[in-house]
Structure 1
């Protein structure tokens, strides 16, 4: 299925991309800029995915439409087990699989006649911003550039102990043991208010992530819906450290960093910028969720991304 905007700036098409798991497809959108009188070809292409527990319906179209209107091809996808992509059990976080899904879509993009295989850009936000930094250090991917918005780059310290954190950790341990014997996951809310059971429990997490939900039902994390993310995903924040490969970054990386970010500590972003001359840190006011579409800082952060793209990977 395809559609063209009334302004005729881009065409959006639904895609199914074969994943590394036989029979499981990644659900994706492809955006192509409308070029009068010609078929788009040799376009730079931006590969995009969302962050922890989120899916492409949650505001990613806003970014893709902006980039396509500038003259870029864009592919937006959901990871295996998430959103409208295939895979079971559902809503299970697997960092290795998510990184592999990025590589799969990058390879797919390079095989499409509309795109220039030498001008592939990757984009990620929050947890996926960490994926972008990790992948940017893989020289064999030969990426042209990358954008990491409010990225998770590792934790500075263990979260303060509370009854909610303790209960979540215990559920996480039980989830590991249950799945080790072949049983289904134990689920907890991905976002919860401080002190409650959940993975993201900073003061702005619950309201912040729901602010980027366009329609009810796109993010099943409401009260009474505990089946949202596997409980052991809480350990991903402890053991995933994208900054570990920061010194090996092999392409220009634009990092958008909210200075009051407590979910993905801002100090880690500054550390990354010190580790590699390839990293351009752009600081914006506010917290983790204060630069998404509909927030006061969105226009400024979007303008910084566009400037970076036009400088590093011009569309013509």
Structure 2
């Protein structure tokens, strides 16, 4: 379905959702299907967020519109410190905060009359794809289903040893020291060319990230340098055997940021996991990229099968 066609089938409004920190609100978009009428009730709800250093302006509206047109309620949000959400210092990655923000939005949605509190679906991409897999193992969340595309599931691809990698590592250490004495954060580029200083420097990362932008100025390309050390201690697959709901993984076979081998491992760990494999690299599943339509179709099929709107 084209964007222009789907736009006729949903209503979009803005939300400000209180986060766990008083005074810090999460900026969100709410999508409701027009077919549900002016006062919908009991819609299954899809909660969505983007990957590391990205924000909801970077293509998430395309997915949300498509899902709403099928009959789902959708809430798309930015994490604290990112996008249009509150929080300082800006552009700092804390995995624990991002997981908590997902839980906060789920709780908020369950309290809204237009949504069915017993039909909650999480959607995540890249780093958020790991978040939703992690949350799928939390029995107390009582999730109905999870969709995770090009997910980070632990053991990120490591850049080869180079002067750029050494500089990146040292900058990460300095950021830890700076923040310990209240001087941080120390920033570096989120994406950079191979051999450069940055969080993601595998071949194609710079071109891929900027290739999914729909307009200039929506991606700051900066992150606290110590975000580098969030990866070794974050392993969504560690609790994969405890997944409590159906999970659909849309995974790129030649992904050089989030290795496909981790997808295969998760599928072995849980019978709840279904995998749809596509060729190509990490960024090829996003709107405007070669495998967006195929990935989106697989996600829709899964949702309609596992959590039909009516």
TM range (shorter): over 0.9
CA distance in 1 between counterparts of 2:204 and 2:50 reads: 18
Per the alignment, residue 187 of structure 2 pairs with: 187
Correspondence list, 1:129-168, <5 A: 129-155=129-155, 158-168=158-168
Q: For 1:164, what is the secondary structure of its paired residue?
A: helix
User: How many positions carry a matched residue from both structures?
Assistant: 307
Are 2:4 and 1:10 aligned? Answer: no
CA distance in 1 between counterparts of 2:72 and 2:37 reads: 17
In the TM superposition, residue 37 of structure 1 has moved relative to its aligned partner by 5.1
CA distance in 2 between counterparts of 1:156 and 1:6 reads: 35
Per the alignment, residue 229 of structure 2 pairs with: 235
Gapped regions of structure 1 (runs ≥ 5):
222-227
Per the alignment, residue 204 of structure 1 pairs with: 204
In the TM superposition, residue 35 of structure 1 has moved relative to its aligned partner by 2.0
Could you list the structure 1 runs, at least 4 aligned residues long, displaced by more than 3 angstroms after superposition: 4-8, 156-159
Per the alignment, residue 107 of structure 2 pairs with: 107
Judging changes above 3 Å, is the alpha-carbon distance between structure 1 residues 220 and 158 closer, same or farther for their aligned structure 2 residues?
closer
Q: For 1:32, what is the secondary structure of its paired residue?
A: strand
2:156 and 2:257 in contact (8 A); partners too: no
Gapped regions of structure 2 (runs ≥ 5):
none
Aligned Cα root-mean-square deviation (Å): 1.4
Are 2:74 and 1:74 aligned? Answer: yes
Q: Structure 1 length normalisation: TM-score? A: 0.95
Are 2:81 and 1:87 aligned? Answer: no
CA distance in 2 between counterparts of 1:279 and 1:37 reads: 34
Give per-residue Cα distances to partners, 1:76-116, cap 9 Å, x unaligned.
00000000000000000000000000000000000000000
1:5 and 1:11 in contact (8 A); partners too: no
Q: For 2:228, what is the secondary structure of its paired residue?
A: helix
Give per-residue Cα distances to partners, 1:54-97, cap 9 Å, x unaligned.
00000000000000000000000000000000000000000000
CA distance in 2 between counterparts of 1:276 and 1:261 reads: 22
